[in-house]
């Protein structure tokens, strides 16, 4: 998008409504690009239906769930439940982004298309988990009811720009989490399914990342501040689910998602693509935000290194225990 207007970066100029209007052309361009490169796929084709059998209840031949019925690893089970419960909150996510971005024009078309694509993820993951008996179906449903009954409110619902910045990072975080879950699952069928989902999430990230790039061109100071705020307060959308802190700790140890992955595979790639630390011509608030992003990344890298050391020591202890 070519910007011919003078640099307008103050809150007095850029309201959410004005930014939504100014970015409409970019949204349409990105939507058209997305529709050209994305491929429709059928969730039922990724599910091992022949592995399925009746559960107890109304069926006389129902077989109770037992952990040994599936080849999925323990960390795979944990991550799959977290990932699915996160996807389950799609109605709340749709409400949030539809309220922020609107239901008309290119914005509205994208909101509905994104929702439809995300819906596939929950469908295929639940069908896989039930057919393959990877997790306890009763507990899974209890978790879903508890999680969805709480609802979801975005930390960034106060600002369209903050929301765009958040999803640019969050979609990539979700892609990485799904991909690593597949790698750690111990089941090639699960790995293949999650690789398909991860492909969607990556395309969603590209859409929002490119939108964020356009926002930097329009309102660099405000966009820099939004990125700063999002990074220092970043939380995954599933943070409200029961037991999330414990699950997150297990996923960190299991190398599905941890501080090192968050720093190296999620935040850094987006910052590098957008050349965030190279943006010049900023006003005082934009410069301050840029400096704080640099400081935050340094601190995050340091914390990630400490975690790496603890994880390496834990692996060494486990290896020694196994050898002894």
CB of 157 closer than 8 Å to CB of 96: yes
CB of 21 closer than 8 Å to CB of 219: no
Report d(CA 246, CA 238) in Å as an integer.
13
Q: Max alpha carbon distance in the chain (Å)?
A: 73
Is 204 marked as binding a ligand?
yes
Q: Where does the chain have alpha helices with state H?
A: 16-22, 24-37, 74-88, 90-101, 105-132, 137-150, 160-184, 188-218, 220-232, 244-253, 259-261, 268-274, 284-323
CA 290 to chain centre: 24
Is 153 marked as binding a ligand?
no
Is 95 marked as binding a ligand?
no
Is 239 marked as binding a ligand?
no
Establish how many alpha carbons lie within 13 A of residue 144's alpha carbon, considering only the half-sphere containing its beta carbon: 18
Residues annotated as binding site for Fe cation? Answer: 87, 118, 121, 171, 201, 204
Residues annotated as binding site? Answer: 87, 118, 121, 171, 201, 204
């Amino acid at each position: 998008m070519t910007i011919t207007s003078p640099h307008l970066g103050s809150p007095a100029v850029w309201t959410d409504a004005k930014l939504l209007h100014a970015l409409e052309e970019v949204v349409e361009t990105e939507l058209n690009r997305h529709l050209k490169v994305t491929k429709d796929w059928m969730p039922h084709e990724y599910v091992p239906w022949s592995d399925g059998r009746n559960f107890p209840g109304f069926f006389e031949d129902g077989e109770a769930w037992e952990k040994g019925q599936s080849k999925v690893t323990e960390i795979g089970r944990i991550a799959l439940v977290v990932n699915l419960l996160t996807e389950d909150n799609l109605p709340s996510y749709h409400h949030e982004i539809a309220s922020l971005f609107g239901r008309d024009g290119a914005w509205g078309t994208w909101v509905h298309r994104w929702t439809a694509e995300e819906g596939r993820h929950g469908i295929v993951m639940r069908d896989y988990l039930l057919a393959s008996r990877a997790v306890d179906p009763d507990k899974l449903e209890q978790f879903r009811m508890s999680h969805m009954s709480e609802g979801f409110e975005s930390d960034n619902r106060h600002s369209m720009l903050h929301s765009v910045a958040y999803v640019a990072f969050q979609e990539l975080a979700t892609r990485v989490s799904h991909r690593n879950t597949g790698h750690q699952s111990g089941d090639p069928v699960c790995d293949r399914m999650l690789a398909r989902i991860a492909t969607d999430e990556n395309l969603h990230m590209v859409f929002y990342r490119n939108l964020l790039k356009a926002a930097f061109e329009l309102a660099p100071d405000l966009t820099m501040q939004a990125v700063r705020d999002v990074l220092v307060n970043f939380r995954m959308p599933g943070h409200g689910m029961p037991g999330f802190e414990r699950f997150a700790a297990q996923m960190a140890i299991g190398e599905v998602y941890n501080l090192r992955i968050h720093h190296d595979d999620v935040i850094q790639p987006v910052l590098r693509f957008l050349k965030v630390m190279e943006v010049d011509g900023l006003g005082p608030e934009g410069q301050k935000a840029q400096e704080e992003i640099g400081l935050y990344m340094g601190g995050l890298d340091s914390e990630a290194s400490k975690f790496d050391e603890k994880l390496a020591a834990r692996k060494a202890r486990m290896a020694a225990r196994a050898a002894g």
